[in-house]
Amino acid sequence: MPLPAARTPLAELTPPIALGALDGRYRGAVAPLVDHLSEAALNRARLHVEVEWLIHLTTTEVVPGADHLSADEQAALRALVPDFDAAAITELREIEAETVHDVKAVEYYLRRRLAEILDGESDRTERLAELVHFACTSEDVNNTSYALMVQGAVTEVWLPRARALVDQLSGMARELAEVPLLAHTHGQPATPTTMGKELAVLAWRLTRQLDRVGGAAYLGKLNGATGTYGAHVVAVPEADWQEVSRTFVERLGLTWNPLTTQIESHDWQAELYADVARFNRVLHNLATDVWTYISMGYFAQVRGQGTVGSSTMPHKVNPIRFENAEANLEVSNALLDVLASTLVTSRLQRDLTDSSMQRNIGTALGHSLLALDNVSRGLAGLDAVPEAMARDLDANWEVLAEPVQSVMRALAARGVPGMTNPYERLKELTRGRRIGQAELVDFVRGLGLPAEEEARLVALTPASYTGLAARLVDHVG
């Protein structure tokens, strides 16, 4: 039976109900990104760029004869950015309803505030107001604003969370460095390792990607409608506009892009999003591996699990944190991939596809941040079960065929007689069937090995056959 046709329209309720999960169910995990990547954050960043451009023009005396701003006036202008609040958001929305242009609305908003700061100086206000957004195209403001926003979101929110997770994983690796684990290659029992070493592999991989993200360059430009400084040069021909642009962009804390069309090319964004997506993919690998270890009984979900695992099966504690992370990483990567692939293309000197596309950056990073939160909480609820790992090791003595035949090959290479065809002989013993300790020991003792090698192999167990695994964990610090 379908839903009733007459029902309360949820879209009309107040406070407004979120359409998406990030602003609804998962708001708490991703809320810090609102300060960087929301529409309000974009307008605040635009205001910051416009204020700094006005101050830059006046302090560097780019326009001959233009009025200066006093230190107090500069401070008052700069205070508009940290003081940007609900009232400012509302006022900007009202201005934009008239301008039907978001950047122009910010320009008019700043002109109003400038008039208030220069209270009573109408002539001076009129003159200085003409330097607000002087010689700028909207993209001069937008590209620098987005660069600042993404820089803040990554360096102040995403990276610290990601690094904390990798530190957590590295700590687990160190704790479990010597806990032997039956490896599985192609899903089949394989040369033993340790749980710590396997977690360390993932921590190492994640760290490499974080280093790339941490080294990202955030580019910006300010060069006019088609990147030629056309309006700038005609207005003030004697100014060194490239130097004015470079110093301004660098004072914003960005890397100057000297050669663009109307838009900054966004290549840096594509590079950054590809790196974040690669981190996400490694994290997805971690989630699926840990999920599998849980299903094998190698980890127990015991701590902080005051939850209902199944609505019908009381015994269950489902690995929902890792499953939630998988889903969110896949959504994040779908968005990051399309951002990276589309933002690098713009028809001729400008089209507006990037404008709509960039509004999804917060959603892309939000789903990644949510996955980080879930993986971290999932790992925090795990206890290793060495006994379960030991049982699987003890049930798979055939994995010692590898070290036995390796010893035989080394002896054959030294000319010791009777060591021929070691691989084939071990294959005959172990292929397609299980063997136990007794069968392996009998086989070793029948090989005619030198006493030292025989004693070493007879003493070997699947649990002790882990090579340098425990020491390798040291690579994650």
Provide mean pLDDT across the span 235-260.
98
Domains of the chain, start order: 33-129 (1.10.275.10), 138-390 (1.20.200.10), 397-461 (1.10.40.30)
48 as an active site residue: the answer is no
Write the pLDDT tens digit of every residue in 349-371: 999 899 999 999 999 999 999 99
Catalytic residue among 122, 310, 341, 406: 310
For the chain, the average pLDDT equals: 94
pLDDT of residue 313: 45
Write the pLDDT tens digit of every residue in 427-444: 888 787 788 999 889 889
Write the pLDDT tens digit of every residue in 257-295: 999 999 999 999 999 999 999 999 999 999 999 999 999
pLDDT of residue 5: 76
pLDDT of residue 1: 73
pLDDT of residue 84: 97
pLDDT of residue 307: 54
Write the pLDDT tens digit of every residue in 139-177: 999 999 999 999 999 999 999 999 999 999 999 999 999
Catalytic residue among 186, 311, 315, 356: 186
H, E, C per residue of the chain? CCCCCCCCCHHHCCCCCCCCCCCCCCHHHHHHHHHHHCHHHHHHHHHHHHHHHHHHHHHCCCCCCCCCCCHHHHHHHHHCCCCCCHHHHHHHHHHHHHHCCHHHHHHHHHHHHHHHHCCCCHHHHHHHHCCCCCCCCHHHHHHHHHHHHHHHHHHHHHHHHHHHHHHHHHHHHHHCCCCEEEEEECCEEEEEEEHHHHHHHHHHHHHHHHHHHHCCCCEECCCCCCCCCHHHHHHCCCCCHHHHHHHHHHHCCCEECCCCCCCCCCHHHHHHHHHHHHHHHHHHHHHHHHHHHHHCCCEEECCCCCCCCCCCCCCCCCCHHHHHHHHHHHHHHHHHHHHHHHCCCCCCCCCCHHHHHHCCHHHHHHHHHHHHHHHHHHHHCEEECHHHHHHHHHCCHHHHHHHHHHHHHHHHHCCCCCCCCHHHHHHHHHCCCCCCHHHHHHHHHCCCCCHHHHHHHHHCCCCCCCCCHHHHHHHHC
Q: pTM of the full predicted structure?
A: 0.93
170 as an active site residue: the answer is no
